[in-house]
Amino acid sequence: MALGSPVKVVLGSIAFGIFWIMAVFPSVPCLPIGRTAGSLLGAMLMVIFMVLTPEEAYHAIDLPILGLLFGTMVVSVYLERADMFMYLGKLLSWKSKGAKDLLCRICLISAVSSALFTNDTACVVLTEFVLKVARQHNLPPHPFLLALATSSNIGSAATPIGNPQNLVIAVLSKITFGQFLVGVLPATLLGVSVNAVLLLCMYWKPLSIKKQEEDPIVGAAAEEAVNSHRFSPATLSHISSLNSQDWSSKLENLNVQSSPNLTANAGGSSSGAEQSLRTRLSSSENEINGAVTEALTPKNKEVAIEVTSIHHKKDDSIHSVHSLHSIHHKKEDSVQSIHSVHHKKEDSVQSIHSVHSNRVASVDGLSDNEASLKSVEGNKGKRVILSPKWRRLLWKTCVYLVTVGMLVALLLGLDMSWTAITAALALVVLDFQDAQHCLEKVSYSLLIFFCGMFITVEGFNKTGIPGTLWDLIEPFAQINRVSGITVLALVIIALSNLASNVPTVLCWEEEWRHRSSISPEEERKAWLMLAYVSTVGGNLSLLGSAANLIV
């Protein structure tokens, strides 16, 4: 592409320069408005300076890339809720055999997680875990943080969803997920291995020092912090809350506390039956008490009358003897009647205690973590409800299955943008509650940043500067020669660290797609090399990758 008019070149360069400054240094003293507002400012200046028309600006926004970004962020939010990242953090210290083993494990886990959930998400999630594990084992954190940042960048190059520039390359080049993975995976595995070896060589001595005796209280607190930490990857911030076990126990405790009223609200026949039985037992107890009173009072009165009769009729000794015998027999009958009534009363009290203990046992059975089902008998029949523990386990299984299904669909070559959006909406429906809380965690500022960047870079391409630079480099950067690959890689690394990798890809994508001098196979190879080199090149400087800044 030829250079535009001098006015367009100058004004377009000014707008792109402002965008670049705000993207690399978002808090400059003269204009501390941040990256997102800086990208919108650059886009607005491109339209105001008439480098682009409003229609061209709207057309420059790539909706498939935005849809893919949005879908992957929503899936990451639900994976965070399903404790996926907590399990990844636990893998860091599970049966660790020392500092060197921990460093190699961080390299592997961060590379895999960044390939599946983007490098920014992996760094946000795992940085806190790495710090806490290092603190728990009294180890210096710097080697592990470098391993996390560098391996996340390298691992993210393996898939189209590993980082933003890969998303752009996959959508623009029409390379399928499987082709991308097969083409870049060998270089990624080699890069992660070499990175681990270099870090071990650099920090062999600090990692060889045996850890000091650890305070058991501090160690237990650190381990609890690692196990209980929760994150919100999409918003690049973390949330400290209960882990899954605490959450399940809280739900079950609430269930036990509300269980006496549960059946009354949801059917009520079981509680009503217990209340009716308690009423009948209470009335029976009252009847027993009445019988005791009736049994005692007449007998005592009769005994008293007979005793008085004996005192008044002292002269008649035979009659007195017969009366005394009669009184004795009646007294024994009365005592037997009293004992019988007491036994009946004790049996009824035991029956009440038995009903109460059965009810308590049934409630305790419902609250047991090992119980899998609750039976609630209603007026219209019996229904079975899963306990909170099993409901959460079923939901987490569905989240993992949907995520695996999304990856399989991507490997089969389905449209990446609509596949990610479909998986995100499937998780929203399976959650079966208001999705506002999860959707609020999506980084909409990143989506807006991409919109402004698309417009700004399109305006910069209209000036003709990227095409002119490519015309100068192309004779020395042929993809079919080793020297050409070397020159092209060095140029990409330099531009990725100066202008950031995503703008570098967007600036040259038009030139690469319209070159007829290379075959389709060579073109795909060039795109894959651009993805790998621009991603791995971000490890050379702190500003070369957003993941580095996060760590």
Mean pLDDT by 10 residues, the chain (551 residues): 83 92 81 89 95 94 91 90 82 77 90 88 84 84 91 93 89 88 93 94 82 47 47 42 41 43 40 48 48 44 45 46 49 52 51 47 43 45 70 92 93 90 94 90 90 92 85 80 85 81 77 64 85 87 76 82
Predicted pLDDT of residue 83? 87
Predicted pLDDT of residue 524? 86
Q: At what angle do helices 34-48 and 444-462 cross, to 10 degrees?
A: 30
CA-CA distance, 10 to 4, in Å (whole number)?
Answer: 10
CA-CA distance, 220 to 222, in Å (whole number)?
Answer: 5
CA-CA distance, 463 to 457, in Å (whole number)?
Answer: 10
Which H or E element spans position 145?
A: helix 142-156
CB-based contacts of 219: which residues, under 8 Å, 6+ apart? Answer: 136
Single out the residue of 125, 139, 35 nearest to residue 550, CA to CA.
125
CA-CA distance, 213 to 503, in Å (whole number)?
Answer: 50
Task: List own/partner pairs for 366-371 with CB under 8 A and 24 or more apart.
Answer: 366/255, 366/256, 366/259, 367/252, 367/253, 367/255, 367/256, 367/259, 369/248, 369/249, 369/252
User: Which amino acid type is present at position 77?
Assistant: V
Phi, psi of 386 (to 5 degrees): -70, 140
Contact 350, 370 (CB under 8 A): no
Question: What distance lies between CA 257 and its chain's CA centroid?
Answer: 28
Angle, vertex CA 485, rays to CA 479 and CA 490, nearest 5: 135
Considering just the CA atoms, what is the radius of gyration of the chain in Å?
A: 39
Predicted pLDDT of residue 186? 94
Contact 238, 85 (CB under 8 A): no
* Three-state SS at 172: helix
